[in-house]
């Protein structure tokens, strides 16, 4: 890695000397290249610290990176640099400092867990297995980046403004994916690996199903929300200065197309990790090749037909959906134990609920916006109109969350042996509720816990009351669990 970095720096500086007209980009590339070994080692440390169950350190490290970049540009760049190039250099230096913190923060977490760097005998068998699995996974990740590069290059060739619209819409869609879906995938990965290594099939299927349900609940709802409120969201975030209403409309059209594929993109992160756990990294590379070919062919057809950046976004969405189904096919073929829990009913529930909420959100936004127009500044109007609907959606979440918690807890109570392997991934309330259901079963004389699944049907009126009493009635149960 260090050798590649040095070669890259030398090549960039040589380019700056030979082609002075492009020297700025080459110099910035040379400055940023040391970030590559920093982030690669940081990724290794982060994976190790995640396996210890400490997931917050990676999020802290990412936040520190952003903070360093903001300080580098906003403080040092604005006050110490007199040119745009000088400000860009300070931004790059901020990224390098942030990269160093991204490495040091998980390293500190590993030292807290008792790990210390030292020379050790290499496990040849394990290293060979890792090497075989690593290459297809790395190639698959590389193909994904090539896929992104193809889309952006074609968007740039279509029009300069089209590239901006494409980038902005893509950034909006990646916000919920980065905040929630990536976090869910990171957290679920150690649980899947542990269950697979111990051959605990019920825990494996349960953890995979739980991760997919969470991803569906968040991303399907977010996708419908982005489709329903695409224009006001873009207006609120970007309609400033030279970015006018026409630009917002063009960007919102792309946002709708990207939002359609967003749930599939999020599910890909879970399916890919399941295949990696099963040792089937080769098929992730094959699926990435599928996506790249479809995206490239679709983009060329879109450009030939004159569909502009909307055609490129549609090609990208189709390739993402196709990639998910290819991965799902290979998971069914090589590791069907992950798929023993059906996701059809949760998917239908989420789609139906999201459709209703999207309709209510759009109508509610339009109603509030029309009432407040002329009385408030447009930006404040957008914030209040969409914020009110966001609060309404959030206020309806607890009952849905409670129902999910109760379902998981009943599963734990009814089948305690198979649940013990994944109790660490259950919430405190789920574990406490499982204890409570067992107590209810004992009090009512249920000799067969399987009857809980029939006799203790989800009755939110009763279970909410029981849930409120947990803190006082089941503290000992929670502690012992």
Give tens-digit pLDDT for 311-338.
888 998 899 899 999 999 999 999 898 9
pLDDT of residue 386: 65
> Which are the contacts of 358, defined by CB distance < 8 A and separation ≥ 6?
224, 225, 227, 228
Min mean pLDDT across 1-10, 112-121, 172-181, 386-395 is at: 386-395
Sequential DSSP letters for 8-37: HHHHHHHHHHH-GGGHHHHHHHHHHTTHHH
Which whole number is the average pLDDT over 398-427?
Answer: 42
Both 391 and 403 in one domain: the answer is no
pLDDT at 32 over 60: yes
Residues 56 and 201 in one domain: no
Q: Is the pLDDT of residue 444 over 60?
A: no
Average pLDDT for residues 168-197, to the nearest whole number?
82
Percent of the chain clearing pLDDT 90 (strictly above): 8
State residue 239 phi and psi, 5-degree precision: -80, 80
The rounded mean pLDDT for the chain is: 75
Environment class of 283 (CB within 10 Å of its CB; exposed 0-12, middle 13-18, buried 19+): buried
Residue 304 is assigned to a structural domain of this protein: yes
- Cα end-to-end distance, the chain, whole Å: 46
Which candidate, 324, 315, 271, places its Cα nearest to that of 148? 315
Residue 413 confidence (pLDDT) above 50: no
- Of the candidates 388, 253, 256, 370, the residue with the CA atom closest to the CA atom of residue 378: 370
Q: Which of residues 249 and 396 earns the better pLDDT score?
A: 249
Residue 110, pLDDT above cutoff 50:
yes
Per-residue confidence band for 141, with pLDDT thresholds at 50, 70 and 90: low
Domain assignment present for 443:
yes
Helical pair 281-304 and 245-277, crossing angle rounded to 10 deg:
160
Q: Which of 100, 66, 71 is nearest to 87 (CA)?
A: 71
Asked if 298 and 222 sit in the same domain, the reply is yes
The DSSP-derived string for 356-389 is: HHHHHHHHHHHHHHHHHBTTB-HHHHHHHHHHHH
Q: Are residues 38 and 159 both part of a single domain?
A: no
Q: Which tops the pLDDT comparison, 445 or 182?
A: 182
Q: 103 phi and psi, to 5 degrees?
A: -80, -40
For residue 405, the model assigns a pLDDT of: 42
For residue 351, tell me if it sits in a domain.
yes
pLDDT level of residue 157 (50, 70, 90 thresholds): confident
Q: DSSP assignment of 307-353, as one string?
A: -HHHHHHHHHHHHHHHHHHHHHHHHHHH-GGGG-S--HHHHHHHHHH
Structure confidence at residue 411 (pLDDT): 46
Same domain, 109 and 238: no
Question: Which of the given ranges, 47-61, 72-86, 135-149, 355-369, has the highest pLDDT on average?
Answer: 72-86
Angle, alpha carbons 98-144-52 (nearest 5°): 50
Instruction: Count other Cβ atoms within 10 Å, centred on residue 149.
Output: 10
Residue 373 phi, psi dihedral angles, 5° rounding: -60, 130
Check residue 184 and give its pLDDT.
81
How high is the pLDDT of residue 176?
Answer: 81
Same domain, 340 and 303: yes
Least confident among 57-66, 380-389, 395-404, 455-464? 455-464
Domain total of the chain: 3
Q: Which residues of 74-104 are buried (b: 16+ CB within 10 A; e: fewer)?
A: eebbeeebeeeeebbbbbbbbbbbbbbbbbe
- Domain hosting 256: range is 128-395
Residue 352, number of CB atoms within 10 A of its CB: 10
Q: Are residues 318 and 411 in the same domain?
A: no
Q: How far apart are CA 308 and CA 136, in angstroms?
A: 33
Q: What is the pLDDT of residue 132?
A: 62
In tens, the pLDDT along 223-243 reads 988 888 888 888 888 888 778
Phi, psi values for residue 376, rounded to 5°: -130, 160
Residue that is last in its domain, among 379, 395, 411: 395
Q: How confident is the model at residue 165 (pLDDT cuts 50, 70, 90)?
A: confident
């Amino acid at each position: 890695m260090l050798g590649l970095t040095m070669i890259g720096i030398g090549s960039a500086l040589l380019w700056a000397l030979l082609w002075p007209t492009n020297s700025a980009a080459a110099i910035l590339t040379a400055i940023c290249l040391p970030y590559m070994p920093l982030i690669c080692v940081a990724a290794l440390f982060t994976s190790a610290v995640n396996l210890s169950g400490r997931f917050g350190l990676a999020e802290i490290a990412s936040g520190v990176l952003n903070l360093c970049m903001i300080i580098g540009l906003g403080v040092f760049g604005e006050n110490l640099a007199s040119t745009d190039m000088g400000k860009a250099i300070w931004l790059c230096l901020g990224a390098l400092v942030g990269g160093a913190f991204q490495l040091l923060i998980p390293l500190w977490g590993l030292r807290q867990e008792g790990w210390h760097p030292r020379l050790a005998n290499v496990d040849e068998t394990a290293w060979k297995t890792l090497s075989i699995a690593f290459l297809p996974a790395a190639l698959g990740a590389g193909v994904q980046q090539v896929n992104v590069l193809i889309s952006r290059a074609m968007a740039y060739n279509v029009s300069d403004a089209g590239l901006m619209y494409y980038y902005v819409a893509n950034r909006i869609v990646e916000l919920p994916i980065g905040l929630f879906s990536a976090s869910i995938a990171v957290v679920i990965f150690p649980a899947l690996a542990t269950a697979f290594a111990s051959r605990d099939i019920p825990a494996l299927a349960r953890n995979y199903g739980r991760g997919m349900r969470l991803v569906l609940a968040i991303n399907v709802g977010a996708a419908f929300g982005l489709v329903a409120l695409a224009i006001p969201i873009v207006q609120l975030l970007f309609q400033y200065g030279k970015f006018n209403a026409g630009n917002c409309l063009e960007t919102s059209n792309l946002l709708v197309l990207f939002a359609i594929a967003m749930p599939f993109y999020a599910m890909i992160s879970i399916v890919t990790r399941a295949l990696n756990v099963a040792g089937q990294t080769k098929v992730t590379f094959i699926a990435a090749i599928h996506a790249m070919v479809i995206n490239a062919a679709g983009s060329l057809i879109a450009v030939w037909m004159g569909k502009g950046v909307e055609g490129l976004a549609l090609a990208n969405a189709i390739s993402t959906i196709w990639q998910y189904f290819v991965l799902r096919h290979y998971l069914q073929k090589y590791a069907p134990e992950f798929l023993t829990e059906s996701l059809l009913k949760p998917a239908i529930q989420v789609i139906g609920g999201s459709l209703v909420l999207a309709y209510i959100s759009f109508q509610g936004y339009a109603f509030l916006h029309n009432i407040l127009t002329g009385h408030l500044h447009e930006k404040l109007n957008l914030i209040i109109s969409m914020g009110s609907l966001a609060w309404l959606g959030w206020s309806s979440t607890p009952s849905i969350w409670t129902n999910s918690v109760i379902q998981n807890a009943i599963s734990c109570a009814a089948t305690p042996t198979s649940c013990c392997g994944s109790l660490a991934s259950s919430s405190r309330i789920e574990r406490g509720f499982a204890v409570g259901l067992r107590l209810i079963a004992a009090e009512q004389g249920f000799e067969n816990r399987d009857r809980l699944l029939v006799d203790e049907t989800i009755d939110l009126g009763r279970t909410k009351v029981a849930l409120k009493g947990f803190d006082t009635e089941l503290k000992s149960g929670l502690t012992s669990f």
